[in-house]
Amino acid sequence: MTTEERRKIGRNNKRRGASYENDAAKILGTQRYLADTGGKLDLIPRDGMVVQVKSGKRIVTAIARQALDDARSNAPDGHIGAVVLYDRSGPRIRKFIMFELVEFHDMIGGVK
């Protein structure tokens, strides 16, 4: 692979990441930091929430996807499906919760 091909891939990846950050910011009613000026943060904090946006083909496993689909399909009206994830890959167990961003947005009352 040539240097120019690598540069093109890098530019495309950066553009794609910015697009995902803009999409998440719009849904959450905030903005992204421009040109990586937010340090470790991608979105300007809002309503007590600080957000880092990640994307990739292997961010969420098939198991987690299926679990969220199961939770969502069995959620009564007015509820959202969620999955609690226990990450045992490090020196201590970390716990996360995962749900659809738009459903979370609707649950917290949307953009104010």
- In the chain, domain spans: 1-56, 60-112
Per-residue pLDDT at 111: 63
The H-or-E segment that residue 85 falls in is strand 83-87
- What mean pLDDT value characterizes the chain? 89
Residue-wise pLDDT for 52-105, tens only, equals 998 888 888 899 999 999 999 999 998 999 999 999 998 999 999 999 999 998
Confidence of residue 11 (pLDDT cuts 50, 70, 90): very high
Residue 49: strand pairing partners: 46
Q: How far is the CA of 10 from the CAs of 2, 7, 19, 77, 98, in angstroms?
A: 12, 5, 14, 43, 28
Residues 6-34: what's their mean pLDDT? 91
This prediction has a pTM of: 0.77
**Residue 74 has what pLDDT?**
96
Query: Looking at residue 71, what is its pLDDT?
Result: 96
